Amino acid sequence: MMEGLAVAAGKVAFSLFVLLNFVMLLTWAERKQSALMQDRIGANRASIFGFTWLGLFHPLADALKMVSKEDFVPAGANRGLHAVAPFVALFFALISFAAIPFGDQLWIGRHPVNLQVIDLNIGLLYVFAAMSMGVYGFVLAGWASNNNFSLLGGLRAASQMISYEITIGAAVIGLVMVFGTINLQTIVHRQGELLLGFLPAWGVFYQPLGFLLFVTAAMAETKRAPFDLPEGESEIIGYFLEYSGIKFGMFLMTDFVETVVVAGLVATLFFGGWQFPYLYRDGFHLPGGGILVLSQQVVCVIQVLTFLSKLAFFCWLSLLVRWTFPRFRYDQLIRLGWQMMLPLSILNVVVTGGVLLLLHR
């Protein structure tokens, strides 16, 4: 009993550690990446005893700044809901990461430990549900602030989430049909096989269209440019207009957490999660036929690192998109969701179904 609790606590701690550190690093990477793209130097001033280390201390400085700032609540705001909103948003973003597996089973002595916080057989639905719940935070923030700009931001957030939830769901149906499960760990296991003898059986090779649709919709879900309409800093400033200090920081963090979660989902569903090509439980099976034997612990470490690198790559991709494109307009975004992406994802389901039917006859 105690052992089980300790293992569970360890997994939660590891998962949160990875997630929050990714978020911290992402704020730094965003600054540096944008600076790189824009011929600037980027944040490089925060120092500890004179060491700046490429500005790596800036996330710390930001956090300190946020915590020590005045927490201002506007007159006429609903104080209770105003305070609850950022917690709701951040909480649901954080827990959605729990179902994403970050490694295969690790054997400690004779106990297998599943490297996943919760092994749910409805893992995919759980992640989607948790991410959908998060929108309540934004809507609450918009409504409770007693500010017309915030209200518009909240409304935009709500309609954007609803429109893109559907596309996200529809885009992965094809994948679920291919793998026949919505258990994320099982989906990753299925992707460990080989296609045509050399190609890793990653979801992206089965579902290229589904992948594109999913990535686009998921980026819209994270509310970052070019889909940052609820924020739209030059138009309506956003649902968090009346927030300051750490509450504002929590909204910022939510965006980054969602970016990491989405990156994790994309890696898990379409890029084999923790699977390293040709790496199996007992070591590398080279395409030529040779086997490089590795101990189970080493394999596990490689798998976790693989997952983390994939996570980092998709976070970086999101930064790249963020700093390249201008923003959509509200009605254009909704039209894109309902009139382009939803029909395409349904088409994807139909085509996938047809192909599966032909193959299994």
Partner 1 sequence: MRNELMDNVETSTPVSTNRMRLSIGPSHPATHGTVKIDVELDGETMVDAQVEIGYLHRAFEKSCEQGNYMHPIPYTDRLNYVSPLICNFGYAQAVEKLLAIEITERCKYIRVIMSELSRVTDHLTCIGASAMELGAFTVFLYLMKAREYIYELIEDVTGARLTVSYVRIGGVKADFPWEFEKKTRLALRKTREVLDEVDRLLTKNRIFYDRMRGVGVCTPEIAIQYGITGPFLRSCGVNYDVRKVTPYLVYDCLDFEVPLGIQGDNYDRYLCRLREMEQSMRIVEQAFDRMPKGEINVDFEGRPMSAAEMRDLSKFGATEGLLRRSVNAEPTLAGSERVFSGLVNIPERKVMLPPKEETYSNIEGLMNHFKMVMTGHGLRPPKGETYTAVEGANGELGFFVVSDGTDRPYRVRCRPPCFPTMAALPHFLIGYSMADLIPTFGSVNMIGGELDR
Backbone phi, then psi, for 313, in 5-degree steps? Answer: -60, -45
Shortest CB 243 distance to partner 1, Å = 16
Residue 123 to residues 182, 188, 264, 269, 356: CA-CA distances in angstroms?
6, 12, 13, 11, 23
- The first and second tokens of residue 106, run together, are 């690790």
Contact 78, 144 (CB under 8 A): yes
Q: State the minimum distance, in angstroms, from the CB of residue 34 to partner 1.
A: 7
C-beta closer to partner 1: residue 35 or 73: 35
- Output 37 or 350, the one with its CB closest to partner 1: 37
Q: How far is the CB of 153 from partner 1 (least distance, A)?
A: 11
Residues 92 and 139 sit within 8 Å (Cβ to Cβ): no
Q: Taking a C-beta distance cutoff of 8 angstroms, is the pair 336, 328 a contact?
A: yes
Number of Cβ within a 10 Å radius of residue 51? 9
Closest CB to partner 1 among residues 74, 226? 226
**Residue placing its CB nearer to partner 1 in the complex, 40 or 281:** 40
Dist CA 204 CA 74 (whole Å): 48
DSSP 338: I
Nearer to partner 1, 139 or 349 (CB): 139
Shortest distance (Å) from residue 171 CB to partner 1: 20
Alpha carbon 226 to chain centroid distance?
16
Closest distance to partner 1 from the beta carbon of 359 (Å): 36
Minimum gap (Å) between residue 341 Cβ and partner 1: 14
Nearest residue (CB) to partner 1, 333 versus 349:
333
CB of 198 to partner 1, least distance (A): 37
Compare residues 226 and 245 and give the one whose CB is closer to partner 1: 226
Q: How far is the CB of 155 from partner 1 (least distance, A)?
A: 8
- CA angle, residues 261, 264, 269, in degrees to nearest 5: 125
Q: How far is CA 186 from CA 123, 201, 233, 272, in A?
A: 10, 13, 41, 11
CB closer to partner 1, 18 vs 334: 334
Q: Which residue has the tokens 């084999």?
A: 272
Residues 219 and 221: their CA atoms lie apart, in Å, by: 5
Nearest to 90 by CA among 61, 152, 133: 133
| β-pair partners for 225 | none
- Asked whether the beta carbons of 116 and 11 are under 8 A apart, the reply is yes
Binding site for partner 1 (CB under 8 A): 34, 37-40, 148-149, 151-152, 225-226, 228-229, 232-237, 323-332
